[in-house]
Amino acid sequence: MPHPRLALPAAGQGDDLSAFRHWLEAAIPLVPQLGIQDMHWQHDTLVWSLSLAPNLNDKGTGFGGSLAAQTTLIGWSWVTLWLRSQGREQNVVVADASQRFKAPVTGDYRILCRPEDPAGQAALAERLASRGKGRIALVQELYSGDTLCLTARGDYAVLP
């Protein structure tokens, strides 16, 4: 059964990310277990700060499955929040995703998510205006301290 949508923010106002996070935790049962401590924007980049403790593997480092889920989810959240800022309520799905693990995650970490192409937002807006649907490629980077531990890429589809 679908979870009720979060009401759109008032025109010209961004989302309250705390309210979005609480909605996300209610809408997707896995989210409260992921250790998200904070989410904020840095220009067109969505940043999540996460705790390592609920994402440990048997070696005491970050569990790849958790990290992959988090990179996919931050991308979905980026697109959902961007649509909401445009006054649009449309469904978003991940169409393709890949991760490259570069170093073990040994402490609390952060994930940054942004469009792969700086013109990606404008291109998506144009496709939505002309077709009512579209796609955008996003990249994610996971850092533990100053160490880049994982890079990821995902194509996210906005459905009509």
Q: What DSSP character marks residue 63?
A: -
Residue 85 resides in a domain: yes
Residue 78 resides in a domain: yes
Q: Match 């978003």 to its residue by tokens.
A: 92
pLDDT in the model for residue 31: 96
| Number of structural domains in the chain | 1
Residue 8 resides in a domain: no
pLDDT, mean over the chain: 94
Q: What share of the chain is helix, strand, coil (3-state, %, to 5)?
A: 30, 35, 35
Residue 17 resides in a domain: no
- Domain enclosing residue 97, as ranges: 35-158
Residue 144 resides in a domain: yes
pLDDT in tens, 54-90: 999 999 999 999 999 999 999 999 999 999 999 999 9
pLDDT in the model for residue 61: 96
**Rounded distance, CA 108 to CA 112, Å?**
14
Point out the residues of the chain with pLDDT beneath 70: 11-13
pTM of the model: 0.94
Residue 84 resides in a domain: yes
